[in-house]
Structure 1
Amino acid sequence: MLRYLPAPDALTMPQEGITLVINDGSAVTTALCAELVGNGHQVVVLTFPIGSSTLRQSFPAGVVEQQLPDRQAETMQQALGQLTAPVSQFIYVHPRLARVDVQTFAQASEKDDLKTAFLFAKYLKPSLNADTWQTRPAFLTVTQQDGALGTANSGQDAILGGGVTGLTKSLNLEWPGVFCRSVDLSPELTATEAAEKIRQELYDSNICLTQTAYNAVGKRFTLVAEPVDPTKEPLLNARINERSVFLVTGGGRGITASCVNQLAITFRCTFILLGRTALQHAEPDWAKNRSESTDLKRQAMEFLNASGAKPLPRLVERLVNEVLAQREIRANLEYLKTQGATAFYRSVDVTDPEAIKAVLDELQPQTGPVTGLIHGAGRLADKLIEHKTEADFDAVFDVKVLGLASVMQALSLADLQHVVLFSSVAGFYGNVGQTDYAMANEVLNRFAYLFRKNYPKSQVVSINWGAWDSGMVSPELKKMLLAHQVEFVPSQEGPLALVDQLSIQAQDQVQILLGGTLPVAKAVTDAPLRTYTINRTLTLDANPFLAHHHIQEHPVLPINIANVWMAQTADMLYPGFKLYREDNVKLFKGIVFDGNQPTDFQIVVQELEKSAERVHVLISVRSQRGGKLPMPHYQSEIVLVSQRPKPPIEPLPDIRNMVPVIADGSVLYRDGTLFHGPDFQGVKQVLSLDETGALLLCEHPGLSWERQGQFPSSSINGFLTDSMYQGLLIWVRRFHNCACLPLTTGWVEMTQELPFGRPFYVSLRVVQSTEFSMSADLTAFDAVTGVVFLKTQRASVTISRTLQWTLPEEVAS
């Protein structure tokens, strides 16, 4: 689903080297060049011909344009060799094509455009990954699909360009020192607006994010996977029966065949299976009655020797694999027959629509019209991008994408009730060595939304499969996934999951992830220590929750939100690490929105130490004051770790034998104890309260991402930690009968994310209390399991006998 994002913070970085832009032929490229030159970039534009025409555009002064005669690999390499300096930043702007439909989506010209981005990634790998850059090297791709990463397709939007997201996400894993980002812009944005958004993304300090989108009004989003609650219905219903006919590509072997077998068990329908392997009438004599792999290899070697050929390992492997493939297909066909299903197998090139039509013309008089499609054909050529070839790209991309296009051209689409696309988490997350495979699968994901828009009565789903324990995974990849503790899809459960996905209950799920995720990117930690300066424009309008946090009639940024600001800034700079500890949290000058507040802030991140296991930084937040020295606001030390220790368990209170001191926490927000509006009202009950401490029961249903503004909850939730700290105000009000304001915190330890929508306890233990201040240790732990989410030591407040709250009902919500 799409998730709202605030505007990006801007990383301050020197400009060096060349920013290379691939021209899409529109005003967007021209406006982008002006934006870049205005920010100190040395810009070179490469322009390719469109058809037989040469583009003629006027670029700003300082921009160098190279007109290239064609898209041949040699031409691209020659153009790079003529540059006067190395490339530090690459921006590929994908052309926006004319209207397409589900049968014409795979335009050859757009595939060529996509391959251009792929080849430039290959050729620019050495330059972008050089360890001498003072600036941040970048690989940025731009599409103008729908401003929603293909999920809001109008039914006519070209989709092949969406494949670049698979490229950038995979490069993000292969190139940990390069900023990789895909941006999808609504075509309704003006060229100037689009250029500004692209430049903002290029400077974004968040290197954990790999894809963003801007809709027609300029709101920013990303695409995330959200857990789906299992259906509560005991039996799942589907519009599939014995009369259903499925065309299945790649259906003779592997995981696709396993899924077909389960469908046969469940529905006993008819299958037309298409595969690459041509079935032979009989096995070769040397393989007969041989079942063991080692025995087959020995017999294959003897056969080659007897034939006068050298028994090279690759020849032996090919002969054995051909035999095993034949056996697997025959076994699957026999199994389908035993389950009461009807199955036909034909060897065909799935990228050839005429060949598929011929098969359908032959078989549909017997089977009836095809009512369902399972596109499971696929091919791998796993290599790092610098070792990839054009042939690799074509082999992997064509069977997925052109194969789908061929099937669409061959079928009667009006008869289709089900369309199932076997995509992969390699497309959704990216994967090392699978740039081409990720690109192809991202196109399949985009196609699902295109098809659904045009055929809303058909059930279509793109299943982003995780790696199967018996699937299309090379030994090297499997070893890497196991090292990263990636969970495999069990071969017995995957087919059952597919059957569930074809149920009526799942008919609105157009794209779904089934199985484990893939390894995430890991920040580079073997480079010298650095200091980063990040810029943020902080406004009241961008943060709606501030309407629920007024002190003395003015909105005030809560100290816990400021803590989130510092912690998340560090978190976004170091992918592969988790927030663990925040030390010496200091408040110098709070941010009060009284009309005179600053809007431009700098977050300075100074690395103190870093290793593969731990990163320690000092973070300061300060505002600019027009020529004067910056004003300090907050400071803390942040520790991130590659692996958090197992969270401790707190004993659960026996609430059955407790009489709450305050049974209805909402009273606290009305009687002057607390001043917080609904966005911060998380205290549900005060279970105990005495001179030594307190115990609170807290829960908050959550806020929309847009309402959370520039401080969205992620590794740390500022809205819920604020509920924790409200325990200090409750205690001070009870035992000092006055208000208080936060001062400092000794340390915060984060062992697990504190989630919305789940009850938790807050244990408060008073450490010190005087007439002027109070400090306490706080622990937040799960109300069901006792798992500790967060602990703070010596959270201190200053006590004020004159401070008066502005109550929530006095503030506009």
Structure 2
Amino acid sequence: MTTTARICSESVFLVSGGARGVTAQCVMKLAQSSQCKFILLGRSAISGQEPEWAQGCEDEAELKKRVMQVLIAQGEKPTPMGVQKVFNQIIGQREIQATLAAIRQAGSRVEYISVDITNKIELQQAISDITQRLGTITGIIHGAGNLADKLIEKKTERDFETVYAAKVQGLENLLSCIPINQLQHLVLFSSVAGFYGNAGQSDYALANEILNKSAHLIKQQHPDCHVVSINWGPWDSGMVTPELKRAFAQRNIAVIPLDVGAQMLVNELAEKNQNDAQVVIGSPITPAAAPANPKLSSYRIRRCLSLAANPFLHDYVTGDCPVLPATVAASWLINTCEQRYPGYRFRRLERFNVLEGIIFDESQPHEFVVDVQETAKLESGEIVSEVLIWSELHRDQVDVHYRGQITIAPPFGSLTSPSDPSPLPTYAGADLATTATSGQLLYPGILFQGRSFQGLQQVLNISPERITLHCIAPKLSAAQKGQFVVKTFDPYIADSVYQAIAVWMRQSHRGVGLPSEFELVEQFMSLTAGESYYLSVEIQSATETSIIANAIAHDIEGKIYFRFSNIKIVITQQLNRAFASSVGYIT
């Protein structure tokens, strides 16, 4: 781990876009915590004193009225655009002066320079003059940026240059004026738009993603510098109107309170975070759901699967061969339907059947086909489709692997989660409690799943009719997930339902088996990697050849994340032998 210098009163930060807006809020908070020095850069020129006619006027309507009167007195014809321009200049001056006053009140020295950071020569001269007074610059905070939000087909070259230059050319110019090996801190204000993408912001997303990649590259080349690109979500500032807040709420995008966001910037500059070159602070951006064409359609998607491309499969081996988990196959179908309609989310999976599971051995087909046939588009916005996965190993042999019915829908705000009516059991079962209550004893003693699927932590209750467990959602890297990234339905978490039933089966001496069908899967809330939850399973019927069960994943208060109804587990002697070789026991 590298060591960087702490921020102190002798630290000097050069801050682009730092006199107004959210960057100014962050600088003020940093001044309060460290009393360091600041050089703020902005395009607005500041004058010594506000016009007498504007002084003391805080009401927007009254101030604009005074602007109109002044323009008329000067012989000009006031237009809405002209009035707004003068109004903005006055408000901008006030914001800059307020920022400077707040920084000085916190105990920091600060100077403001009116300069265009996209003008390299002008920037070099301005920085050279001021460093003679404040000292050597030890840190850069690049917060400048422009917006020109439009759909890509409506964007002009000028729009692109305006957005791109402030972020990318601005950073290049700053680093051309201040050698990187002189810096102890480099903070880049990026955006979640660069990380997730966002409609109407193709240029802004591209520019911010360049900042992200630049941070990683600079950190690699200069490990002693604390480099971080912060991908901010929307802030609760004047730019976020009540209408925009409502739009964000409909897409489950939270806004960042000013004080909270500013403190997060200070926190990110702590020594313990010096190896994090990129952080995301904000909600994921999902596209707004567009109205669906009422016409029913069908489509076919081909996909090549390989063991090498999907490392998680090495954690799902029965006998000698990796197999595709049923929940991963379900997520494959769910993701296919969601991708067809950006912004729509998974609601229900019905009558899902495992017909011919996919086994990764020498006989595995190279290519698989997903067929989707839309069957209904309801007034509620829901789209219902029949789906299946099949392959053709030989021209005369077609194998259907999985089949089901999927419903997706627009995200009408937050979906209300039902609650489990039964209380969460807090007592331990008699037999299993003494031998396998913890996750360490469940894997691999009872369950064959490897690390990618190991979510069960402790058996809280087990009886002839029920089992309840405490779980933690597994953490997988993007590389481990391979071709099966998580969108709304997480198959690596959902597999815990099958595992819970397998634990119950072992306790009741029912042997082992694999899921063959789910009558219904419903999702209400999402779980994130590392999050704690509870799994309650009720056994509906149990014979020598099959188990039928219901399962819910819920929080400690009983609010449900997802629910499986009528899961069927098929038991065979062949499976018993395969599982025995996988986990090292014989049933």
Query: Are 1:466 and 2:233 counterparts?
Result: yes
Secondary structure at the aligned position of 1:327 is classed as helix
Match of 1:641 in 2: 409
Look up the equivalent residue of 2:416 and give its one-letter code: P
CA distance in 1, matches of 2:71, 2:304: 72
Aligned counterparts of 1:358 and 1:799: Cα–Cα separation in 2: 79
RMSD: 3.4
Task: Answer yes or no: is the 8 Å Cα contact 2:447–2:583 preserved in 1.
Answer: no
Distance of 1:318 and 1:382 partners within structure 2: 20
Is 1:446 the counterpart of 2:213? The answer is: yes
1:284 alignment partner AA: P
Cα separation, 1, equivalents of 2:435 and 2:486: 26
> In the TM superposition, what whole-angstrom CA distance separates every residue of 1:398-418 from its partner, at most 9, and x where no partner exists?
233323222222234443222
| Equivalence map 1:85-124=2 (5 Å) | none
Once the two structures are superposed, the pairs formed by residues 406-425 of structure 1 within 5 Å of their partners are 406-425=173-192
CA distance in 2, matches of 1:572, 1:741: 29
Change (3 A) 1:664 1:582: farther
Q: CA deviation at 1:524?
A: 5.4
2:263 matched to which residue of 1?
Answer: 496
Do residues 776 (structure 1) and 546 (structure 2) align? no
Aligned to 2:518: 745
Specify the code of the residue in structure 2 equivalent to 1:320. F
- Please report how far the alpha carbon of residue 313 of structure 1 lies from its aligned counterpart in structure 2 after TM superposition: 1.4
When normalised by structure 1's length, the TM-score is 0.63
* Distance in 1, Cα, partners of 2:187 & 2:441: 53
Match status 1:725 vs 2:493:
no
Please give the residue correspondences for 1:1-80 in structure 2 after superposition, counting only pairs within 5 Å: none
Residue type of the alignment partner of 2:353: K
Match of 2:112, SS? strand
For the residue of structure 2 that corresponds to 1:806, the secondary structure is helix
How far apart, in 2, do the equivalents of 1:393 and 1:713 lie? 32
Q: Answer yes or no: is 1:353 the counterpart of 2:120.
A: yes
2:566 to 794, 797, 800: 794
Asked if the contact 1:529/1:609 (under 8 Å) is kept, the reply is: yes
Do the aligned partners of residues 492 and 624 (structure 1) sit closer, same or farther apart at CA in structure 2, a change above 3 Å counting? Answer: same
> 1:579, 1:641 within 8 Å by CA — same for their partners in 2?
yes
1:694–1:330: structure 2 CA closer, same or farther, 3 Å change rule? closer
Contact 1:675 1:805 (8 Å CA) reproduced: no
- The alpha-carbon deviation at position 532 of structure 1 amounts to 1.6
Instruction: Confirm or deny: 8 A CA contact 2:424 2:558 kept in the other structure.
Output: no
Go from structure 1 to structure 2 and tell me whether the alpha carbon gap of 1:387 and 1:804 turns closer, same or farther (over 3 Å shift): closer
CA distance in structure 2 between the partners assigned to 1:392 and 1:678 by the alignment = 48
SS in 1 for 2:553: strand
CA gap 1:354/1:525 in 2 versus in 1, 3 angstroms? same
Specify the alignment match of 1:618 in structure 2: 386
For residue 303 of structure 1, report the CA deviation from its aligned partner: 1.4
Q: Match of 1:317?
A: 84
Superposed displacement of residue 262, structure 1: 2.0
In percent, how many aligned pairs have the same letter?
A: 37
Name the CA shift for 1:575/1:799 in 2 (closer, same or farther; >3 Å).
Answer: same
> How many angstroms apart in 1 are the aligned matches of 2:504 and 2:583?
24
Pick the aligned partner of 2:197 from 403, 409, 430.
430
Q: Check the 8 A contact 2:423/2:558 in 1, yes or no.
A: yes
- Native 8 Å contact 2:187 2:229 kept in 1: yes
* Distance (whole Å) between structure 1 residues aligned to residue 252 and residue 361 of structure 2: 51
**How many Å separate the matches in 2 of 1:282 and 1:699?**
60
Shift of the 729–405 alpha-carbon distance from structure 1 to 2, 3 Å rule, reads closer
Of 139, 145, 151, which aligns to 1:378?
145
Aligned to 2:59: 292
Aligned partner of 1:630 in structure 2 is 398
1:395 equivalent to 2:162? Answer yes
After alignment, is 449-458 or 517-526 more displaced?
Answer: 517-526
CA offsets, 1:323-352, max 9 Å, x none? 222222223323333332222222222222
* Consecutive unaligned residues in structure 1, runs of 5 or more: 1-236
Aligned to 1:71: none
Find 1:764's aligned residue among 537, 543, 564. 537
What residue identity is the alignment partner of 2:525?
A: Q
C-alpha deviation, 1:636, in angstroms: 0.7
Give the alignment partner of residue 715 of structure 1, picking from 480, 488, 495: 488
1:661–1:688 contact (8 Å) kept in structure 2: no
The answer to whether the 8 A contact 2:318-2:582 is kept is no
CA distance in 1, matches of 2:429, 2:508: 21
Shift of 1:432: 3.6
Give CA deviations for 1:415-449 in whole Å, capped at 9, x if unaligned: 32222222222332333433333333233223323
**Aligned partner of 2:568: which letter?**
S
SS for the counterpart of 1:492 is helix
Superposed displacement of residue 472, structure 1:
4.8
Alpha-carbon contact 1:747-1:792 (below 8 Å) kept: yes
Does the CA contact (< 8 Å) of 2:348 and 2:521 recur in 1?
Answer: yes
1:241-260 pair list within 5 angstroms = 241-260=8-27
The CA distance in 1 between the partners of 2:150 and 2:526, in whole Å, is 36
- Is contact 2:138–2:185 with CA below 8 Å preserved after alignment? yes
Q: Offset at 1:246?
A: 1.8
For 2:116 and 2:476, how far apart are their aligned partners in 1? Answer: 51
Q: Give distance in 1, aligned partners of 2:115 and 2:534.
A: 62
Cα distance in 2 for partners of 1:708, 1:435 equals: 27
C-alpha distance in structure 1 between counterparts of 2:449 and 2:210, whole Å: 47
Kindly tell me: are residues 288 and 520 of structure 1, through their superposed partners in 2, closer, same or farther at Cα, counting changes over 3 Å? same
User: Once the 2 structures are TM-superposed, how far is the Cα of residue 797 of structure 1 from its aligned partner?
Assistant: 3.5
Cα 1:645–1:406, aligned 2, differ >3 Å: closer, same or farther? Answer: same
Aligned residue number for residue 364 of structure 1 = 131
How far apart are the structure 2 equivalents of 1:631 and 1:534?
16
Alignment-derived partner of residue 303 in structure 1: 70
- Asked whether the 8 Å contact 1:650–1:781 carries over to 2, the reply is no
| Structure 1 counterpart of 2:6 | 239
CA displacement, residues 341-393 of structure 1 (integer Å, 9 cap, x when unaligned): 22222222222222223223322222111222222222333333344333333
Are 2:428 and 2:459, in contact at CA under 8 Å, matched by a contact in 1? Answer: no
- Where 2:577 maps in the other structure, the secondary structure is coil
Aligned length: 574
Q: Secondary structure at the match of 1:468?
A: coil
- The AA in structure 2 aligned to 1:655 is T
SS of the residue corresponding to residue 346 of structure 1 reads strand
1:103 is matched with which residue? Answer: none
Indicate the larger mover: 310-319 or 413-422.
Answer: 413-422
2:459 and 2:422 map into 1 onto residues whose CA distance is: 17
Point out where structure 2 has 5 or more consecutive residues left out of the alignment.
none
Query: Contact 1:586–1:635 at 8 Å: present in 2 too?
Result: yes
Q: CA deviation at 1:511?
A: 2.0
- Residue of structure 2 equivalent to 1:33: none
Structure 2 CA distance for aligned equivalents of residues 365 and 552 of structure 1: 73
Q: Could you say which residue in structure 1 is the equivalent of 2:108?
A: 341
The structural deviation recorded for 1:635 is: 0.8
* SS at 1:287 equivalent: coil
The aligned residue for residue 181 of structure 1 is none
| 1:626 maps to amino acid | H
> 1:550 touches 1:811 (CA, 8 Å); kept in 2?
no
- What CA distance in whole angstroms lies between the structure 1 residues aligned with 2:205 and 2:430? 57
